[in-house]
Structure 1
Amino acid sequence: MASSSKAPSSRRSVFDAVHIRSEFSAAGISAHFIPLIWKYVLQNPRCSDLDGVPSLPAAAYALLRQKFRPTTSTLTAAADSKDRTTTKLLICLQNGESVEAVVMRYDTRLGKYDGKPRPGGVRSTLCVSSQVGCKMGCRFCATGTMGFKSNLSSGEIVEQLVHASRYSQIRNVVFMGMGEPMNNYNALVEAIGVFTGSPFQLSPKRITVSTVGIIHGINKFNGDLPKVNLAVSLHAPDQDIRCQIMPAARAFPLGKLMNALQSYQNESKQTIFIEYIMLDGVNDQEEHAHQLGKLLETFKAVVNLIPFNPIGSSSNFKTSSDQNVKNFQKVLKGIYRIRTTIRQQMGQDIAGACGQLVVSLPDERSAGGATLLSDIEDLRI
C-alpha cells in the first residue's frame, strides 16, 4: 500500500516552476521553453502527456515524460450558484486529498467607481486554496474544523487557475480559500511568480493574499511580492477578542502585528485591506468600531465588513443585524474617514460563501469558498 501511494508523486506537476527550471537547467535546456509548455497545457485541457508540445528539443520531451505530468490534480466536480455568478470547483490532488477553488463573476457595468458609471463587462475573480485544511483554528471558519492536513505545492496552487480558466477568463486571484497562505510561504511566492509571467500574465495589482497576521511573513512580503495586495483577517480591535475567536492570534500579539503592518506600508506605500467578520454581540458594537477606527487611523486602509455565514449547528456565533453592520460602517467612515465596504455575499446556495469552505468527502455538497465585495480593482484607493 505504501508503494502505491508514493508512485504518483514521482512525477511532478509541470507547473512546479522551481523543479522544472532546475531539471531543465541540469539537462542544459533553455528555460524559455517552459512558458510554451504551460501554454500548451492551458490550450489542451484533455492532454494526458506533453509529447504534443511543439518545437521543443528532443531532450526536453524525454525529460518531461520521465519527471512531469501536464497536471497532477483533477477537477472532480463543479457547481454553479442559482444566479450563475459563482462556480465552485472541487479539485482532487494526487495524494487523494481535495481542495476548493471558487470563481466569482462581476459585471462592472452594474456598479460605479469613484461615483461614476463606467464601461466594462463581466470579469472574474478566482479564490484559491493554499493548504488542505488549516492550522489556525478560527472558530467562525468551517475550514478550521478540518485541522491541517497538508501544504499544496506551487504547481497545485497554479493548477487551480488552470482548471478555473476553462470556466471563465480569470482577471483577479485572491488567496482566501482553504489554509493560511503565509504558512506555505515558498509555494505562495513561487505560484504568484507563475501567475504574473507568461502565459497567465496576471498583474500583481490584481492578486491579493489574505493572512490572519503571520508577522514573519508580512515582514518579507513586500520584498518577495511587490505590488501584490495584502489583506489581513483582523476580525477584532483588541487582543482579547482576537484570541477568543482566533486562537492562533496568541502567537501574534496585536501590537506587534500593527507595527509589522506599519513597517510594511511605509516600505510598500500600498493600501492594506482589513477583513472584519461581523459576529453578533462579540465584535460588532459601536465601541468596537471606535476601537478599530483608532487602531487604523494612521493607516491607508480599506475595511471590508463581512457578514458571518453559518457553518453548522455546532457554531456558537450569530450573524450581526444589518443595522449593527451599517452603524459600524457609519462610525468608521463618518468619524475616522476610513473607507469601509460591506461584503456582497455570493455562492451561499452552494456553500460557496466566506468561511464556509470545508471538504468532507464523499459529501461534496459541504465544500465552499470565499467572496469579495467586488473585484479588487474596485477597492484600490
Structure 2
Amino acid sequence: MPHRSVFDASELKTQFHDAGISHRFIPSIWKFAIQNPDRQLDEVPDLPSAAYPLLRSNFKPLTSTLHSVSHSTDGFTSKLLVKLQNGAFVEAVIMRYDTRLGKYGGKPRPGGLRSTLCISSQVGCKMGCKFCATGTMGFKNNLSSGEIVEQLVHASRLSNIRNVVFMGMGEPLNNYTALVEAIRIMIGSPFQLSPKKITVSTVGIIHAINKLHGDLPGLNLAVSLHAPVQDIRCQIMPSARAFPLEKLMDALQVYQKNSQQKIFIEYIMLDGVNDEEQHAHQLGKLLETLKVVVNLIPFNPIGSSSQFRTSSEHRVSEFQKILRGTYNIRTTVRKQMGQDISGACGQLVVNLSDKRSPENTSLLTDIEDIHL
C-alpha cells in the first residue's frame, strides 16, 4: 500500500488517536517537513517514541515531486509541474505581485512583494467547459488533501506565498471533503494563511456552495459565471444544465447574507458569444442585488482548433463601462499572465514544457487586493 502524505490530516490524526499520541505534535511535524526537504520523518525531534515507527511505516514528508518549473518571459509567472505518487501530473501557477500597487481607501496599500499560488484540486476536470484546456483532459481523479497542500509546500520553497486561489485544474467543490481539509491545514499552524487570502472558484455547485460558509467562514468565493442567461451558459459550460442560473443566484444570495462578503464573478470574454452590449445589460440586471466584483477575463486560446476568439479590447472596455456606469458594479479586467508557458486562465493542461528564463518587468496588483 502506498504511503500517505503527512499532510493528509484526517488520516494522520486518526492514526495518532488510535496510537494514543496527542494531535498537538502534528504542526511541528508539518513544519519540519516544509523546512527540511531532504530529511525523513523519523528525524523530526522531540516526538513520543510511538510516533516514529508509525510515521516511518505509513507516511511520507511529500508523496509528490516537483517535476519541472517553467518561467514566463513576463517575469512574474512560474508554472509548476507536479508529479503525483500515482504517476499523474497536475499544474500549479505562481503569480508574483506588488501589494503596494493596490488601493485601500484611495491610498496605496502597505506591504511589498508577495505571490499568489493557483492550485489544482483534481487531475483533469469533468465540467467540460468548452473554452478551458483542462476540460479536454476529462476527469482522471480527485487529489487528496495532502496532495493539494503539497502544491503549497513546493511553491513555498520558490516564493513567499501570501494568497492561494483554487483556480487550477479541476472543480474544487467536486472534491469538497479534501478541499475543506486542505484549506483548514493552510489556515492553521505552520502555514497560517488568512482565510481572507484564500479564494475558491467554482462553476456553481449549488449544494456545496450552501455548505461552504459554515465549513470555511471568511474565505473568498469566486463563481465562474461566464454568461448572463442560462441558454448561453449551457452552450459553453455543459455542466450548467445541472445548476440552473436562477437557483445558483438564489444560493449566492443566501451565501452573501450569511458571509457578509463580496463575491467574485468571473466572466470570460468570448467574441460574438457573450460580449455584446445586450449581454452586459443582462449581466448587470442579474447581479444588481448582489455585492460583487466582476472580473472580465480575456479568452486565452487553447490551440488552433479553438472554436472561440478573443474579444477586442474595445469590446471589453465597452462591456466594463456598462457594468460600471449603468449598474454601479465594480468591474476589473484580468491581466494576462503566463500565456507563453500555458499558465494563463483556461490554459492549464498537462504537458512537459521546457523551462524558460524570466525577464525583468513591472509587477501587477494582486487579485485579492482589488475587492477591499
Query: Under TM normalisation by the shorter chain, which class is it?
Result: over 0.9
Asked if 1:341 is matched to 2:361, the reply is no
User: What is the CA-CA distance between 1:180 and the residue it aligns to?
Assistant: 0.1
Query: What is the alpha-carbon distance in structure 2 between the residues aligned to residue 230 and residue 145 of structure 1?
Result: 25
Match of 1:62 in 2: 53
- Equivalent residue, structure 2, for 1:41: 33
Partner of 2:353: 364
Please, which runs of 5 or more residues in structure 2 have no aligned partner? Answer: 356-363
Indicate whether 1:354 and 2:345 are aligned.
yes
- 1:365 positional shift: 5.4
Contact kept in structure 1, 2:298 and 2:311, CA below 8 Å: yes
Instruction: Indicate which of 35, 38, 42 corresponds to 1:51.
Output: 42
Aligned residue pairs total: 364
2:8 paired residue number: 16
Q: Is the 1:143–1:179 contact (alpha carbons within 8 Å) kept by the matching residues of 2?
A: yes
1:119–1:204 distance in 2 versus 1, CA, 3 Å: closer
How many Å separate the matches in 2 of 1:84 and 1:44?
28
Please give the TM-score of this superposition, normalised by the length of structure 2: 0.96
Spell out, residue by residue over 1:172-226, the C-alpha distance to the aligned partner (whole angstroms, 9 max, x if none): 0000000000000000000000000000000001000000000011010111110
Higher mean C-alpha displacement, 137-146 vs 345-354:
345-354
Task: State the SS of the aligned residue for 1:226.
Answer: coil
Q: What do the CA deviations read for 1:229-254 (whole angstroms, capped 9, x no partner)?
A: 10000000000000000000000010
Match of 2:81 among 73, 76, 90: 90
* Matching residue of 1:325: 316
Aligned residues of 2:122 and 2:141 also touching (Cα < 8 A): yes
Match of 2:273 among 263, 278, 282: 282
Moved over 4 A (4+): none
* Cα displacement (A) at 1:348: 1.1
* Inter-partner Cα distance in structure 2 for 1:168 and 1:287: 43
Uncovered stretches (5+) of structure 1, i.e. residues with no partner? 1-6, 367-372
**Does residue 265 of the first structure (1) align with residue 261 of the second (2)?**
no
- The one-character-per-residue Cα deviations of 1:249-279 (angstroms, maximum 9, x if unpaired) are 0000100110111111111111110000000
The residue number in structure 2 matching 1:26 is 18
Which amino acid letter does the alignment assign opposite residue 70 of structure 1? P
Offset at residue 109 of structure 1 (A): 3.1
Give 1:110 shift.
3.7
Aligned-pair identity in percent equals 73
Instruction: Identify the residue that residue 369 of structure 1 maps to in structure 2.
Output: none
User: How far apart, in 1, do the equivalents of 2:268 and 2:169 lie?
Assistant: 17
Contact (CA 8 Å) 2:99, 2:369: kept in 1 or not? Answer: no
RMSD: 1.3
Task: Measure the CA separation in 2 of the matches of 1:279 and 1:39.
Answer: 44
8 Å CA contact retained: 2:74, 2:337: no
Determine helix, strand or coil for the equivalent of 1:210.
Answer: strand
Tell me how far apart the structure 2 counterparts of residues 220 and 118 of structure 1 sit (CA, whole Å).
33
- Find the aligned partners of 2:179 and 2:101 in 1 and give their Cα distance: 33
In the TM superposition, what is the alpha-carbon distance from 1:349 to its structure 2 partner? Answer: 1.5
1:84 to partner: Cα distance? 2.3
Which of these residues, 146, 152, 156, is aligned with residue 161 of structure 1?
152
Identify the residue that residue 223 of structure 1 maps to in structure 2. Answer: 214
Deviations along 1:2-47, one digit per CA (max 9) or x if unpaired, are xxxxx4x2x1000000000000000000000000000001111222
The AA in structure 2 aligned to 1:13 is S
Give 1:111 deviation, angstroms.
4.4
Deviation sequence 1:131-176 (CA, Å, 0-9, x none): 0000000000000000000000000000000000000111000000
Work out the CA distance in 1 between the residues paired with 2:50 and 2:307. Answer: 59
Question: What residue in structure 2 maps to residue 256 of structure 1?
Answer: 247
Asked if 1 retains the 8 angstrom alpha-carbon contact of 2:102 and 2:365, the reply is no
SS at match of 1:137: coil
Please state whether the residue corresponding to 2:200 is helix, strand or coil.
Answer: strand
